[in-house]
Structure 1
């Protein structure tokens, strides 16, 4: 029986026990899914009457317009949050104490502030339009979280890389741009994508300030339907779209990571020619 440096390989009894645990977990999960599906059928959620409104062109246009507004808010949030996080991460890594303290204060404040409170404050107290209030709140919160992601990624690079770069005569900006950040990118990418997924889902908070995003469109449709439990069919339409967009972001992250691994810059540049052996005197001596 082979062994591992981290743990003992399970023996026959442990393997059988793990298989039993897996079977019981699968059965329990299928039972929960079956119970949910049964409740949906029991409350007549799959009848034609409850799904007929989605055939109307006006309902489809309303959903598409809401989806477009959601993607617009998310795209602008991502474009603003990423440089915001990079800027304040650089501030937290600065050698100047005042800059470092100011960046720390900003990052910690917006990380601690509840996102919904921030959005409502910008919308109500500052009299900002719903779209910009949502984008501003999402940018400040997610940008502050990304600042910590960037800072942790840079600090995770081995200290010897920084010292070797300084020994070569590089300035701190050059060390950060050419040595630390390229090595930290691959480690930071999963956390960055995870935070962007959070930002995408948090755009649904816009319906609380009357921003006409995807969830707000679903709410308008559900409130105008005249049968029992109208929100369930709407949720069954909206939820897969949100899940699909989040899965698409995850797929994009894996694609970027795989492309980075295939890049010659990551693999180490051009291959070195194989050394050959020549007999006799060098050409100069002949």
Structure 2
């Protein structure tokens, strides 16, 4: 158990560890029993017969699902390309000192964090066309996802900013850097570096939100699976195959987040012979920014 875990709860003693081990074994046995009963029921009803799974390995079905996967990835990519920069700007604005900008960013974040994505999709599908704003089905799905997730990402970035020691910005200001330059060169790079794993995990949320494409009849993966199930009358098989695709994609994103978190938490060694003390890690964005602006800050005016 690491130090962070000890802050949340006390380390269990011998009796507590024994209870945890027994509980883990009991729960694992129950899960295996449920899986076994489910497998036996499906096998008895003929749902696991090869003939019911064979259509999904044929070329026409694979091509049909790949078109849906392409639509899902396109929505996820477009949403991410807009949500992440917009969320970063909103997070910086809410963490800043300008009262007007802070109030506007706070209002946006609090409103769109509270609104369900499905409700916003319905607004773009039914309400806005009535007032003359009718966009394509791609943007009827993508824009609500962007509006919701940019607010969530803003809070992630703001949490990263607030987690930094105030000495970082105070040192930059003492060197003569402006508030905007301090945020851009010192605070924000370090904050983003801290929350990169969480931001990567947020891609999973973007991917899941794309399943709302059925509302606007956008041909994403879930919509294609629904069409395939209706045509083949094999509902269970179609949704199991699509679920496996989602599991693989989400697992890859989760592993990427774990890898980035491990790389970030691994403190590199200091440059040999660079004259830096042991507390100056290699490639620290804040240290690099301060070192870059130090001559300019100390120059006579």
Q: Does TM, normalized by the shorter one, top 0.5? A: yes
> 1:97 aligns to what?
99
Distance 1:157 1:210, change over 3 A: same
In 1, the alpha carbon distance for the partners of 2:208 and 2:247 equals 9
Kindly name which structure, 1 or 2, has the bigger radius of gyration based on alpha carbons: 1
Q: Is the 8 A contact 2:56 2:238 kept in 1?
A: no
In 1, the alpha carbon distance for the partners of 2:44 and 2:220 equals 31
> 1:271 aligns to what?
272
Q: Give the counterpart of 2:218 among 211, 226, 231.
A: 211
> 2:43 aligns to what?
41
Q: Give the counterpart of 2:185 among 166, 178, 201.
A: 178
Q: Secondary structure in 2 aligned to 1:170?
A: coil
For this pair of structures, how many residues does the alignment match? 264
> 1:86 aligns to what?
88
In 2, the alpha carbon distance for the partners of 1:8 and 1:150 equals 31
Q: Is the 8 A contact 2:90 2:105 kept in 1?
A: yes
After superposition, residues 70-219 of structure 1 pair within 5 angstroms as 70-126=72-128, 127-219=134-226
- Stretches of structure 1 that go unaligned for 5 or more consecutive residues are 275-286
RMSD, aligned α-carbons: 2.2
> 1:56 aligns to what?
58
In 2, the alpha carbon distance for the partners of 1:216 and 1:143 equals 25
> 2:26 aligns to what?
24
In the TM superposition, residue 261 of structure 1 has moved relative to its aligned partner by: 5.4
Distance 1:46 1:267, change over 3 A: same
Distance 1:259 1:210, change over 3 A: same
* Structure 1 ranges of 4+ moved more than 6 A: none
1:77-112 CA-to-partner distances (Å, cap 9, x unmatched) read 100000110111122123221111111111111111
Distance 1:205 1:110, change over 3 A: same
In 2, the alpha carbon distance for the partners of 1:135 and 1:208 equals 12
- Stretches of structure 2 that go unaligned for 5 or more consecutive residues are 129-133, 276-301
State TM-score, norm by structure 2.
Answer: 0.81
State TM-score, norm by structure 1.
Answer: 0.85
In 1, the alpha carbon distance for the partners of 2:269 and 2:182 equals 18
After superposition, residues 200-239 of structure 1 pair within 5 angstroms as 200-226=207-233, 230-239=234-243
Q: Is the 8 A contact 1:107 1:144 kept in 2?
A: yes
In 2, the alpha carbon distance for the partners of 1:155 and 1:165 equals 16
In 1, the alpha carbon distance for the partners of 2:38 and 2:45 equals 11
Q: Give the counterpart of 2:245 among 241, 244, 254.
A: 241
In 1, the alpha carbon distance for the partners of 2:274 and 2:113 equals 52
Q: Is the 8 A contact 2:160 2:191 kept in 1?
A: yes
In 2, the alpha carbon distance for the partners of 1:273 and 1:191 equals 33
Q: Is the 8 A contact 1:165 1:179 kept in 2?
A: yes
Q: Which moved more, 1:78-87 or 1:177-186?
A: 177-186
Distance 1:168 1:61, change over 3 A: same
In the TM superposition, residue 190 of structure 1 has moved relative to its aligned partner by: 2.8
Q: Is the 8 A contact 1:123 1:129 kept in 2?
A: no
